Chain A
């Protein structure tokens, strides 16, 4: 769900001037592209059909109209939903990724609408108490880190939002499965395999809290574990207690408990933790029984090539001469990369990083053995790029950007690459020729060969050695999946001449590839419920099982007549193994928990709803308005709530009003507060005497801020902050400021990003530097300063699976600021450059951070000097926990020290070691736990120049320990403790010490 916010912010950044909207009494359906129009009536019907079902199942009445955005921002289908502050759904049109059958096939708009609406129901359904708080706060409150009390208000207005992801995804996937007649994760073969493997290999099955704290972060399956565990737990509850019980658990109506865990106890009569344990016991028994079924016939022996589990894997490619398999891998601790697996000794050689790796297929990789080049995709979760890797030189070249094509395969006969392009929700077979008539660079163009009708997804293609046949798996609306052969000559004239080898029905034919002689296709399928290897005789279409796996075997390659290469599924990821290249006699099947549940509770069949056709739901009659979605006109008040503020050393009270449109393209906030003179903050330090005094005109505080597309604006009068109540760092200032910023991304190729920020501001009545609290600027309270500034900020930061911070990459920034006052101009320049290197130990990196700045003015005023001091964290804080990385932080030299550094120019360097995090599987309870702790150590050197305050040369050394804490499943906070010593090199290495302790609230 959090992705929804990212998505909306991206759309907002790109500032669509026009979005088209269809409105009914219950829905706003928004899109932006002509290419999506074909699906709008269908999406509208799916929405109304699903909503009608959910109203009945969950006794749900929407608190407001739900806004649905149809988009095509990714090459694979995705969805997101929220109900805070407004009900909204985002739905990506692309086909799902069927890798390893981690997603079910079927009609995706139908299944996504069923799924996402469950999220809205679970979040938006309310009791009379919730609705009372809606009235008090004039809506549902979204928590903001600037005002942490909003977390409390948010819990009062939308309590079920504060439930773990596995709970939300579990119920949504479970209900979706039965709404689709059994197509979904509750009947998932991959899901059965995951738990069977964990039981078989005696691997840890996470507790409910351990899943959140460790399972979704260190495991190679990442956040997919929320879906796996959540759906499985719901499946167990349904099987044991009946499906009505889980619905009762999720329903929010009068008499229900606010917290998801309390409601669990209310419905099931025992604690969630206890029942989770019961599930684990049940699961072990269930899976042991399935293993026994598998063992009815001899299981296939696997010969590991390496003991290393390499997480997720792409399709492998074999170089016989070198006895090497090329494969893309993604496992916790190291950035995803192309690798050469040396079959002789099992050594995994890193070749090149893969930007934007997919969680399961990592990258679509194909291989030109003759040219010794690998072709692979990057940005796999967005719009994919095509790249080449030259094995001889190690050079990576990007061939096509955003070509949105994967499932690559190489045609040896004409050296063309073939693939599947996803656009507007359609799959198109494309050919990427090596050369063209226009003499374009190699593989820089693509050709449409055949576009499949909507609802038919095609994947895992291969071209026969003679170039005559293209094999592929193709799915339909109902989730049936067949292995097909296309005639490539026909495809060259945009026609599909198809030969169906076999309809595997709801089990997917995965990774079928031709052997070198073209006689056979080897691939895998969960046909028996377990992923086994199959061999297809291309001439006769005879299919023969080649394995009887206990866990699951995938992506086979024929190495010789005696052995096959394959990936064996383990609890820690895929392991490269050999198996015998010989047919097996018989293979038995396993049982599915879902099947047993529907046999036990046939009422689940009544959950099935049809894909509504135009005859069943007449969209024309439902539409009340068609036109454009104008975010400005859609702006309404989201919520209003009281705030607590700190101003200097005083405490104040006020109110904030928050406005926005449903898709959050535009939002603004107005705050007003008042600080009584006698409300003294006893926690505040009295070392800064300016903070002890508050004039009459300083008692009122006003603030307006907002964003419209690329523009952000703010205006403050005597700005105050909640966090000024706690600790040495103060952002409250006397005076009035107004500022407008324009941000434009000159480069957006995530994680590579180059932003240009242009800003203009006005300051009046300043008592201090607006940026450096240690710089008092008496004599400027009657001066008006007009500022303009420009910044260029580039970042390319990466991390591996399970990373808690960036582990490699670099970042630079250049900023110039010009202040104007009384006819004079004061200019300053600042630049920084950081580079991080990943060390061989997993999650261990070293960073070098440098910065320099210069004020071009000798004259002293609020904008001509820089200040350096302290860690910078308050006791209670909301900004970055590792503030010691800021250019103007200097740990060791606290704000309380008798020495302060004010500079006209400076140069600074820092070396920082970021140690691997320590993960906690079980530290805390369901509603308050810690999931990791990480230690960093740093040392920096600073040289400054200032005529009046003197030049300085300082070094420091310090360390910080950060611990992530999660409250109510969603509210992440960071507890930090740090210590540093600073040494004044110009004063006999005089030592200054500083302790820092801080709790950073919210993300």
Chain B
């Protein structure tokens, strides 16, 4: 199928979708040329003006219903938004815009909050974060609603300090630490600070041989954390163990922005959202999130409002529209709109 055919079919598809949206939105116009006709005006002789008897006429249009959206004030404002236009030129955004999960997510207030979050937007540029975002273990950990330990803990400065420590990460990666963490009795001992009892455990003994652990043990933050119930919950979580082995997580854990982000309530809320977790795996999303235009657009209240409009989602999925938006003529159109001809 050649491109122009696709464009044509695209228009038809938009028309069909928008027709449904149009009527669902209550856009019916009941005016009829026959309404109130024939009664005349008392005392006034109507002019004998010729008019063809062929008074019925219909016009076949294709996709006119999409105008309900095109005429929308928020949509028009968005069209004039430089960031939106920049994004529309990016293939990643137009690909992402077709993703129903993205459009669902865009309606989520937490997403909008996060999208405004400077740390998230900085973080999104980091290669480590992008790698991590694709990691199913991270997603698992982040969305673990039964055990909110990670997000709770993340708010702790102590944890943040510790996460930056290479020794901690070495320890966390050690299989012995894993085994230890899975043993509830050992965890209770750790909580109680009874290290003499703990030392009897072969796993701990194994761990204690590690130079990293020895270094870590000197760290007051670790000793404080070791008593922290949430940490111990986290340590029990197999995903954490897996994640700790991940080099990207290790890199990221040292990143102050990540820790700031992790503290953010919006991130915490969103982390529980399955769609967000899925999106985080999407390369398009990470590409878009890196873009400064996205950061600005995310702050745009019109975008958030429009994202709630079903017709907007349909339009975003329309290839003809997105192709046009990408093209340089759209920039020219915007100039026409501002009449500056710059």
Residue positions of A touching B, CB distance < 8 A: 10, 13-19, 32-35, 37-42, 45, 73, 107, 110, 180-183, 187, 189, 379, 382-383, 401-402, 421, 423-424, 426, 428, 430, 438, 445-448, 450-456, 474, 476-480, 482, 484, 493-496, 498, 500-503, 505-507, 526-529, 532, 534, 541-545, 584-592, 594-595, 598-599, 605, 608, 610-611, 613-614, 626-627, 744-749
Q: Is the CB of A610 within 8 A of B57?
A: yes
- Check: B196 CB closer than 8 A to any chain A CB: no
Interchain Cβ contacts under 8 Å between A and B, 30 examples: A13-B341, A16-B329, A37-B63, A42-B59, A42-B61, A107-B57, A107-B59, A182-B51, A187-B51, A402-B338, A426-B71, A430-B73, A451-B67, A453-B29, A455-B59, A474-B31, A477-B58, A498-B31, A500-B31, A500-B35, A505-B37, A542-B42, A544-B43, A586-B43, A587-B44, A589-B47, A595-B50, A598-B50, A745-B340, A748-B342
By a CB distance below 8 angstroms, the chain A residues around B31 are 456, 474, 476, 482, 484, 498, 500
Q: How far is the CB of A348 from chain B (nearest CB, A)?
A: 31
Q: Is the CB of B52 within 8 A of A451?
A: no
One of B45, B51, B56, B67 near A38 (C-beta < 8 A)? B67
Q: How far is the CB of A468 from chain B (nearest CB, A)?
A: 19
Q: Is the CB of B47 within 8 A of A503?
A: no
By a CB distance below 8 angstroms, the chain A residues around B46 are 527-528, 589
**Chain B residue at minimal CB-CB distance from A598:** B50
If A39-B61, A503-B34, A595-B48 touch, does A17 touch B43 (CB 8 Å cutoff)? no
**Chain A residue at minimal CB-CB distance from B333:** A33
By a CB distance below 8 angstroms, the chain A residues around B49 are 182, 187, 189, 506-507, 529, 592, 594-595
If A10-B341, A505-B37, A587-B45 touch, does A32 touch B333 (CB 8 Å cutoff)? yes
**Chain A residue at minimal CB-CB distance from B54:** A181
Report the Cα distance A883→B324, complex, angstroms.
47
Report the Cα distance A428→B69, complex, angstroms.
11
Q: Is the CB of B62 within 8 A of A589?
A: no
The 3 A-B residue pairs whose C-beta atoms are closest, nearest first, are A181-B52, A626-B4, A529-B47
By a CB distance below 8 angstroms, the chain B residues around A13 are 341
By a CB distance below 8 angstroms, the chain A residues around B62 are 37-38, 40-42
- Check: B293 CB closer than 8 A to any chain A CB: no
Report the Cα distance A502→B41, complex, angstroms.
9
Q: Is the CB of A476 within 8 A of B33?
A: yes
Q: Is the CB of A589 within 8 A of B329?
A: no
Q: Is the CB of B47 within 8 A of A507?
A: yes
One of B33, B34, B57 near A611 (C-beta < 8 A)? B57
By a CB distance below 8 angstroms, the chain A residues around B324 are 33-34
Report the Cα distance A182→B47, complex, angstroms.
14
Q: Is the CB of A495 within 8 A of B48?
A: no
- Check: B336 CB closer than 8 A to any chain A CB: yes
By a CB distance below 8 angstroms, the chain B residues around A479 are 51
By a CB distance below 8 angstroms, the chain B residues around A626 are 4-5, 7-8
Report the Cα distance A39→B70, complex, angstroms.
14
By a CB distance below 8 angstroms, the chain B residues around A10 are 341
Report the Cα distance A527→B58, complex, angstroms.
25
Q: Is the CB of B336 within 8 A of A73?
A: yes
Report the Cα distance A15→B329, complex, angstroms.
9
Q: How far is the CB of A506 from chain B (nearest CB, A)?
A: 6
By a CB distance below 8 angstroms, the chain A residues around B70 are 34-35, 423-424
By a CB distance below 8 angstroms, the chain B residues around A498 are 29-31
If A34-B321, A38-B64, A421-B71 touch, does A502 touch B36 (CB 8 Å cutoff)? yes
Further pairs besides A494-B26, A541-B36: 12, Cβ < 8 Å: A32-B329, A33-B333, A42-B61, A182-B50, A182-B52, A426-B71, A500-B31, A528-B47, A532-B44, A592-B47, A610-B57, A744-B342
Q: How far is the CB of A37 from chain B (nearest CB, A)?
A: 5
Q: Is the CB of B47 within 8 A of A15?
A: no
By a CB distance below 8 angstroms, the chain A residues around B59 are 42, 107, 110, 454-455, 477, 611, 613
- Check: B301 CB closer than 8 A to any chain A CB: yes
By a CB distance below 8 angstroms, the chain A residues around B157 are none
Report the Cα distance A447→B15, complex, angstroms.
23
**Chain A residue at minimal CB-CB distance from B328:** A17
By a CB distance below 8 angstroms, the chain A residues around B73 are 430, 445-448
One of B27, B44, B60 near A545 (C-beta < 8 A)? B44
**Chain B residue at minimal CB-CB distance from A548:** B44
By a CB distance below 8 angstroms, the chain B residues around A534 are 41
By a CB distance below 8 angstroms, the chain A residues around B68 are 451
Q: Is the CB of B30 within 8 A of A18?
A: no
- Check: B11 CB closer than 8 A to any chain A CB: yes
Report the Cα distance A610→B52, complex, angstroms.
11
Q: Is the CB of B332 within 8 A of A17?
A: yes
User: Which of A455, A528, A588: most chain B Cβ within 10 A?
Assistant: A528
Report the Cα distance A607→B115, complex, angstroms.
62
Q: Is the CB of A37 within 8 A of B320?
A: yes
**Chain B residue at minimal CB-CB distance from A595:** B50
By a CB distance below 8 angstroms, the chain A residues around B71 are 421, 423-424, 426, 428, 448, 451
By a CB distance below 8 angstroms, the chain A residues around B27 are 450-451, 494-496
If A33-B333, A527-B44 touch, does A482 touch B36 (CB 8 Å cutoff)? yes
By a CB distance below 8 angstroms, the chain B residues around A445 are 73
Q: How far is the CB of A189 from chain B (nearest CB, A)?
A: 8
Q: Is the CB of B61 within 8 A of A586?
A: no
If A35-B70, A503-B34 touch, does A17 touch B327 (CB 8 Å cutoff)? yes
- Check: B106 CB closer than 8 A to any chain A CB: no
Q: How far is the CB of A207 from chain B (nearest CB, A)?
A: 29
Q: How far is the CB of B53 from chain A (nearest CB, A)?
A: 8
One of A18, A379, A452, A482 near B35 (C-beta < 8 A)? A482
- Check: B335 CB closer than 8 A to any chain A CB: yes
Q: How far is the CB of A876 from chain B (nearest CB, A)?
A: 35
By a CB distance below 8 angstroms, the chain B residues around A745 are 340-342
Q: Is the CB of B29 within 8 A of A402?
A: no
By a CB distance below 8 angstroms, the chain A residues around B25 are 494
Report the Cα distance A73→B326, complex, angstroms.
21
Q: How far is the CB of A794 from chain B (nearest CB, A)?
A: 14
One of B29, B36, B328, B342 near A496 (C-beta < 8 A)? B29
Q: How far is the CB of B24 from chain A (nearest CB, A)?
A: 11
Report the Cα distance A507→B50, complex, angstroms.
12
By a CB distance below 8 angstroms, the chain A residues around B327 are 17-18
By a CB distance below 8 angstroms, the chain A residues around B7 are 626
Q: Is the CB of B58 within 8 A of A448?
A: no
By a CB distance below 8 angstroms, the chain A residues around B337 are 383, 402
Report the Cα distance A40→B11, complex, angstroms.
11
Contact with A along B99-116 (1 / 0, CB 8 A): 000000000000000000
**Chain A residue at minimal CB-CB distance from B67:** A426
Q: How far is the CB of B37 from chain A (nearest CB, A)?
A: 4
By a CB distance below 8 angstroms, the chain B residues around A493 are 26
Q: Is the CB of B339 within 8 A of A402?
A: yes
One of B29, B41, B320 near A543 (C-beta < 8 A)? B41
Q: Is the CB of B51 within 8 A of A506?
A: yes
Q: Is the CB of B52 within 8 A of A608?
A: yes
By a CB distance below 8 angstroms, the chain A residues around B47 are 189, 507, 526-529, 589-590, 592
Report the Cα distance A15→B32, complex, angstroms.
43
By a CB distance below 8 angstroms, the chain A residues around B51 are 181-183, 187, 479, 505-506
Q: How far is the CB of A981 from chain B (nearest CB, A)?
A: 44
By a CB distance below 8 angstroms, the chain A residues around B340 are 745-749
Q: Is the CB of B339 within 8 A of A401?
A: yes
User: Which of B37, B73, B333: most chain A Cβ within 10 A?
Assistant: B73
Report the Cα distance A611→B60, complex, angstroms.
9
Report the Cα distance A382→B341, complex, angstroms.
14
Report the Cα distance A40→B73, complex, angstroms.
24
Report the Cα distance A496→B62, complex, angstroms.
23
Report the Cα distance A15→B71, complex, angstroms.
25
Report the Cα distance A423→B26, complex, angstroms.
20
User: Which of B26, B57, B342: most chain A Cβ within 10 A?
Assistant: B57
Report the Cα distance A181→B54, complex, angstroms.
8
**Chain B residue at minimal CB-CB distance from A750:** B339
By a CB distance below 8 angstroms, the chain B residues around A613 are 58-60
Q: Is the CB of A382 within 8 A of B61?
A: no
